Amino acid sequence: MPDLIHVITPGDHYSPRTGSATSTVVHGLAGAAGREGSGFRQFVAVDASTMRPRYDSATPIEYAGVPGPTRAQRLTDVGLGRLGLPRRAAGRYFAPAAAAVADRPPAIVLAHNAPVLAWLLRDSPHHVVLYAHNDLLGTYTRAEADRMLGDVAGIACVSESLATQLRRSLPDRLAERLHVVRNGVDCEVFTPAAAAPSRSAGEPLRVLFVGRMIRDKGADVLVRAAGLLGRDDIEFVLVGSEGFDRYADTSPYELELRRLAGDGRARVSFEPFVDRASVPDLLRSADVFVVPSRWADPCPLTAGEGLASGLPVVASRIGGIPEVIGSAGRYVSPDDPEALAAALAELADDRGLRHRLGAAARTRALEHDWSWAWSNLRSVLDTL
């Protein structure tokens, strides 16, 4: 059985101290593989300077990283790619990771969000699988995608929605190598509260958002919906920062959120970024979870974590979000605070509906845990 080597973005932290979705996915898959005795030894290539403690689900292969490309260098890379030349800055950034794994015994290398890695490892003995968590090829022509990815053994996508996006950028011979491996969820860590969150007489229903405070994630849509409702019996708790640093300066967007909240009569509070270990208890303290993305989020982990926590989930019908939630939640159009307010009002006024949706959410999560996701990935690997 060959080794399985995950390569994550240089500088990304394989640690529960960060909120990195990619590292969470690697940990979920590697942990499930280990529990099931899959026969694949799991490794992760990681910059030696990154955070500790590290997840223990994969053995680290450490290397000395280099600074990431600047915006100007990334733009230059796009131009180089369209001229038929290698993307120099991306290649330089990933070269230490590629060197760390190139001379190891033949293995399957999962290149997480790293198209350039397939090209860097083109002369190695490894089977390289591009593992796409986002639309990685938006700046690639089909000709460049063919050059850079021509030798990949497969392309794993975290949702059918993302696979559809990537297919537009790929020549037919590479499109045939697309596979969908949706993210799972840890149903032992993310569990429902033992009893409904304790609410004293007159204490409000708690609606929770957890995620990065950027426009794509739609926190402002939730704040606007809260303002439209203006109800004293509902409180809105928004947790997250622009990045993964709890102590970073407040961004202009975060300041705008606070201004919006201050303009209305709703009960809205903000909490900066919390590490992964704190998220399960946050979810157990809530009554309703909201995923108000305005972009085509391919497969948000928070949606599955809300389901696993037995919460009714209200989410935007966009991207891969419906693939995560299925029929176990309520949907609204993205960027529509009026529709979101109406959906939240319905849940606030109907305890029985909240209970039914919460039970359906937990059932769906149990059917789509990390063992399920690993089984799907294993099926792909077995075809290589």
Same domain? For 314 and 278 the reply is: yes
If you average pLDDT over residues 202-216, what whole number do you get? Answer: 95
pLDDT value, residue 53:
94
Q: Which residues contact 25 (CB under 8 A, 6 or more apart)?
A: 112, 133, 158, 183, 301
User: Is residue 189 a part of any domain in this protein?
Assistant: no
* φ, ψ for residue 256, nearest 5 deg: -65, -40
Asked whether the predicted pLDDT for residue 201 surpasses 70, the reply is no
Q: How far apart, in whole angstroms, are the C-alpha atoms of residue 316 and residue 218?
A: 9
Q: How many percent of the chain have pLDDT more than 70? A: 98
Same domain? For 62 and 138 the reply is: yes
Same domain? For 220 and 125 the reply is: no
Closest listed residue to residue 60, CA positions, set 49, 69, 71: 49
Q: Which residues contact 379 (CB under 8 A, 6 or more apart)?
A: none
pLDDT value, residue 199:
57
Asked whether the predicted pLDDT for residue 175 surpasses 80, the reply is yes
Buried b / exposed e along 236-256 (16+ C-beta atoms within 10 A)? bbbbbbbebeeeeeeeeebee
Asked whether the predicted pLDDT for residue 12 surpasses 90, the reply is yes
User: Is residue 190 a part of any domain in this protein?
Assistant: no
pLDDT value, residue 147:
95
87 within 8 A of 77, measured Cβ to Cβ: yes
Mean pLDDT over the full length of the chain:
95
User: Exposed, middle or buried, 232 (CB in 10 Å: 0-12/13-18/19+)?
Assistant: exposed
Same domain? For 27 and 165 the reply is: yes
Residue 220: enclosing H or E segment and its boundaries? helix 219-229
235 within 8 A of 206, measured Cβ to Cβ: yes
Same domain? For 353 and 376 the reply is: no
pLDDT value, residue 194:
85
User: Is residue 342 a part of any domain in this protein?
Assistant: yes
Tell whether pTM > 0.75. yes
Asked whether the predicted pLDDT for residue 367 surpasses 80, the reply is yes
pLDDT value, residue 173:
96
If you average pLDDT over residues 266-283, what whole number do you get? Answer: 95
Asked whether the predicted pLDDT for residue 198 surpasses 80, the reply is no
Same domain? For 57 and 174 the reply is: yes
Residue 343: enclosing H or E segment and its boundaries? helix 337-348
Residue 19 binned pLDDT confidence (cut-offs 50, 70, 90): confident
Same domain? For 168 and 259 the reply is: no
Q: How many domains, in total, are found in the chain?
A: 2
If you average pLDDT over residues 290-309, what whole number do you get? Answer: 97
Length of the chain, in residues: 384
User: Is residue 173 a part of any domain in this protein?
Assistant: yes
In eight-state DSSP terms, residue 11 is T
Beta pairing partners, 313: 289
Half-sphere exposure of 5 (CA within 13 A, CB side): 27
CATH number (domain holding residue 353): 3.40.50.2000
pLDDT value, residue 265:
85
Q: How far apart, in whole angstroms, are the C-alpha atoms of residue 160 and residue 183?
A: 12
User: Is residue 198 a part of any domain in this protein?
Assistant: no
| Sheet order of strands, 267-271 included | 267-271, 234-239, 205-210, 288-291, 313-316, 330-332
User: Is residue 191 a part of any domain in this protein?
Assistant: no
If you average pLDDT over residues 39-60, what whole number do you get? Answer: 96
pLDDT value, residue 131:
98
Asked whether the predicted pLDDT for residue 98 surpasses 80, the reply is yes
Same domain? For 213 and 253 the reply is: yes
Span of 15-29, 186-200, 290-304 with lowest mean pLDDT = 186-200
Residue 101 binned pLDDT confidence (cut-offs 50, 70, 90): very high
Read off the pLDDT of residues 145-164 as tens digits, 9 standing for 90 and up: 999 999 999 999 999 999 99
User: Is residue 299 a part of any domain in this protein?
Assistant: yes
Same domain? For 107 and 141 the reply is: yes
Same domain? For 352 and 374 the reply is: no
Residue 203 binned pLDDT confidence (cut-offs 50, 70, 90): confident
221 within 8 A of 335, measured Cβ to Cβ: yes
Q: Give me the domain span that covers residue 8.
A: 3-184+370-381
Closest listed residue to residue 271, CA positions, set 263, 261, 148: 261
Residue 196 binned pLDDT confidence (cut-offs 50, 70, 90): low
pLDDT value, residue 38:
84
Angle between helices 88-102 and 71-82 (to 10 degrees): 90
Residue 371 binned pLDDT confidence (cut-offs 50, 70, 90): very high
User: Is residue 285 a part of any domain in this protein?
Assistant: yes
Same domain? For 43 and 121 the reply is: yes
Read off the pLDDT of residues 316-352 as tens digits, 9 standing for 90 and up: 999 999 999 999 999 999 999 999 999 999 999 999 9
Same domain? For 138 and 247 the reply is: no
Residue 75 binned pLDDT confidence (cut-offs 50, 70, 90): very high
Encoded tokens for 230? 């203006």
pLDDT value, residue 200:
57
At 292, the amino acid letter reads P
